[in-house]
């Protein structure tokens, strides 16, 4: 049970959620390979629920109005809200739900899953109830299924977690224990990607060229095993090479594009030990491994000057304990 990500008073309840990064294994994870993902606390979502008589109102930067008239891109949120209210035996009315987000949507940072997790947390807080991780994920995945079609579940799980994850569909979650601090830089191409379409395109490729594509997915799986080893042995150089190798496979799967490739090439020229896309791809963000903290600050400035829409330096910290 968890209450630490929610706050209630008589008038309102707040639920919060951070975002996520996929270090390695995106797309392959949908087809049974492992992936490593990292909570990304630099950006996040707040969902604020208040009593307001009448039909449920949404307030967000992208839409303000009745929930049942929300535009198509918010339908996942509406389904998630309905499912949660039903689960809590609360009526589907008399609420004002404000969502504030610093996560750019469509950038591979798990915006839809973060909104869902924050929303479910805020509704449970409003009802004065606690939830288990299973309940939280079950309800958040209502929205994820709408947003991503056939998601692996890794986004919601990482957003509900405070530690780096080793994820394989249908297997028990494992937590990763980095042996040292790893300094990353995340940079946004400025263009929105569509994870659902990217996931479908890989699934279609797998149908048309099963042997060739399965080899690529399995290779991504091997790289992910090696990346875990590199994280747990503090081998930065090795991890960087593995990220570069993974990017080659993702390019061959058709989920990288010119904007991502341009930022990745620049980050490598500027000394990144490795760089790849993160998340669904075809737009969205890259993740680059810097040599150290100073280099991560320099790389951040250089990527900004090079034209990245947003750049976030980020440290994956050494972990001494393993409770998620």
- Catalog residues that contact ligand MEV under the rule CB under 6 A: 22, 26-27, 29-30, 108, 148, 151-152, 154-155, 195, 199, 279-280
Q: How far is the CB of 153 from ligand MEV (least distance, A)?
A: 7
Q: Other C-beta atoms within 10 Å of 51: how many? A: 12
Q: How far is the CB of 53 from ligand MEV (least distance, A)?
A: 38
Residue nearer to ligand MEV on the CB measure, 50 or 202? 202
Listing DSSP states for 252-318 in one string gives HTT---HHHHHHHHHHHHTT-SEEEEESS-SSSEEEEE-SSHHHHHHHHHHHHHHT-SEEEEEEE--
Residue nearer to ligand MEV on the CB measure, 123 or 151? 151
Residue nearer to ligand MEV on the CB measure, 33 or 60? 33
Residue nearer to ligand MEV on the CB measure, 41 or 65? 41
Q: How far is the CB of 66 from ligand MEV (least distance, A)?
A: 30
Residue nearer to ligand MEV on the CB measure, 198 or 239? 198
User: Which residues, listed in sequence order, are joined to residue 275 by a DSSP beta bridge?
Assistant: 288
Q: Which of 176, 174, 199, 191 is nearest to 286 (CA)?
A: 191
CA 205 to each of CA 24, 65, 166, 172, 174: distance values in angstroms, whole numbers, following the listed order: 20, 40, 26, 28, 30
Q: How far is the CB of 142 from ligand MEV (least distance, A)?
A: 14
Residue nearer to ligand MEV on the CB measure, 29 or 142? 29
| Separation of alpha carbons 280 and 114, rounded Å | 15
Q: How far is the CB of 277 from ligand MEV (least distance, A)?
A: 10
User: Which residues, listed in sequence order, are joined to residue 8 by a DSSP beta bridge?
Assistant: 13
Q: How far is the CB of 167 from ligand MEV (least distance, A)?
A: 8
Residue nearer to ligand MEV on the CB measure, 15 or 34? 34
With tokens 């091997």, the residue in question is 222
Q: Provide the token pair at 51.
A: 């009593």
Q: Other C-beta atoms within 10 Å of 63: how many? A: 16
Q: Which of 11, 25, 61, 8 is nearest to 164 (CA)?
A: 25
Q: What is the DSSP letter of 149?
A: S
Q: How far is the CB of 289 from ligand MEV (least distance, A)?
A: 19
Residue nearer to ligand MEV on the CB measure, 151 or 313? 151
Check if the beta carbon of residue 163 is closer than 8 Å to that of residue 319.
Answer: yes
Q: How far is the CB of 27 from ligand MEV (least distance, A)?
A: 5
Listing DSSP states for 85-105 in one string gives HHHTT--S-SEEEEEEE-SPT
């Amino acid at each position: 049970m968890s209450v630490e990500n929610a706050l209630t008073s008589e008038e309102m309840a707040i639920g919060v959620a951070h975002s996520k990064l996929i270090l390695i294994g995106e797309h392959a994870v949908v087809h049974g390979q492992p992936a490593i993902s990292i909570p990304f606390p630099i950006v996040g979502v707040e969902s604020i629920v208040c009593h307001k008589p009448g039909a449920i109102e949404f307030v967000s930067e992208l839409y303000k109005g009745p929930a049942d008239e929300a535009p198509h891109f918010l339908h996942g949120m509406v389904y998630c809200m309905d499912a949660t209210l039903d689960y809590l035996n609360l009526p589907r009315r008399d609420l004002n739900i404000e969502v504030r987000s610093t996560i750019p949507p469509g950038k591979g940072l798990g915006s839809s899953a973060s909104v869902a997790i924050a929303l479910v947390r805020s509704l449970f807080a409003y009802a004065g109830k606690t939830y288990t991780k299973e309940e939280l994920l079950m309800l958040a995945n209502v929205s994820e299924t709408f947003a991503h079609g056939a998601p692996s579940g890794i986004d919601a799980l990482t957003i509900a977690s405070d530690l780096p994850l080793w994820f394989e569909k249908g297997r028990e979650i494992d937590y990763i224990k980095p042996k040292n601090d790893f300094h990353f830089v995340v940079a946004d191409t400025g263009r929105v990607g569509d994870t659902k379409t990217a996931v479908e395109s890989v699934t279609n490729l797998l149908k048309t060229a099963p042997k060739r594509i399965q080899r690529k997915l399995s290779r991504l799986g091997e790289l992910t095993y090696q990346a875990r080893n590199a994280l747990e042995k503090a081998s930065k150089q090795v991890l960087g090479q593995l990220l570069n190798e993974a990017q080659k496979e993702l390019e061959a799967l058709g989920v990288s594009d010119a904007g991502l490739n341009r930022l990745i090439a620049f980050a490598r020229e500027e000394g990144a030990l490795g760089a790849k896309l993160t998340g669904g791809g075809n737009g969205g963000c890259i993740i680059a491994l810097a040599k150290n903290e100073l280099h991560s600050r320099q790389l951040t400035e250089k990527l900004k000057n090079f034209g990245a829409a947003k750049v976030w330096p980020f440290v994956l910290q050494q972990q001494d304990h393993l409770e998620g």
